[in-house]
Amino acid sequence: MPKEKKLAIYPGTFDPITNGHLDIIQRAVSLFESVIVAVTTNPSKAPLFTVSERVNMIEEATSKLENVTVENFSGLLMHYAEKRNADVIVRGLRAITDFEYEFQMALVNRKLAGDIVTVFLMPNEKYTYLNSTIVKEVAKFDGDVSSFVPQNVHENLIDRFKNE
């Protein structure tokens, strides 16, 4: 299938990136000409990793994918998306529980910038139970998260929790 010549932004906290996020990025790459993974700097949650640590981990994990770049942004997503001339916002939908929040966000974002389309992608079902919070919980108590996150993230998690 020829790719749409479109710029897609995949925004999130990515604290840290998981195999579920990577699955969505791969799907976005197969659909759109270029994909920006955009890490929010908004401190709504107290993150485990700094913005630059999160950006670096995503860069390493996506280094083999063509046309993926990683950036950070602050403030409103739609202001940033307009500035970058994005066509599409990509979000991942895991389960019905994601739906209500994502639906609300997508409609608000459409009001803010009607030309930018939100596209929802579903990951492989083996990732539907994954989120960054559960990965951090398991890693914190020495559980094995090697099948949940890319290798570099696994190493960073071990390092971060080794003194606890």
Active site members? 21, 45, 94, 132
Nearer residue to ligand ADP within complex by CB, 82 or 98: 98
Quick check: 24 binds ligand ADP (CB under 6 A)? yes
Quick check: 14 binds ligand ADP (CB under 6 A)? yes
Quick check: 92 binds ligand ADP (CB under 6 A)? yes
User: 36, 7 in Cβ contact below 8 A?
Assistant: yes
In the bound state, the residue with its beta carbon closest to ligand ADP is 20
Nearer residue to ligand ADP within complex by CB, 62 or 132: 132
- Min separation Cβ 163 and ligand ADP, Å: 25
**How many amino acids of this chain bind ligand ADP (CB under 6 A)?**
16
Nearer residue to ligand ADP within complex by CB, 94 or 154: 94
Residues 90, 121: Cα–Cα separation, whole Å? 7
Pattern 122-141, binding to ligand ADP, x per CB under 6 A?
Answer: -x---x--xxx---------
Six-digit token string for 54 = 């999160």
Residues 159, 163: Cα–Cα separation, whole Å? 8
User: Which residues sit opposite 48 in a β-bridge?
Assistant: none
User: 39, 58 in Cβ contact below 8 A?
Assistant: yes
Nearer residue to ligand ADP within complex by CB, 113 or 119: 119
- Please give the radius of gyration of the chain, using alpha carbons only, rounded to the nearest integer: 16
Burial string for 30-54 (b: 16+ CB within 10 Å, else e) reads ebbebbbbbbbbeeeeebbbebebb
Residues forming the site for ligand ADP (CB under 6 A): 12-14, 18, 20-21, 24, 91-92, 94, 98, 123, 127, 130-132
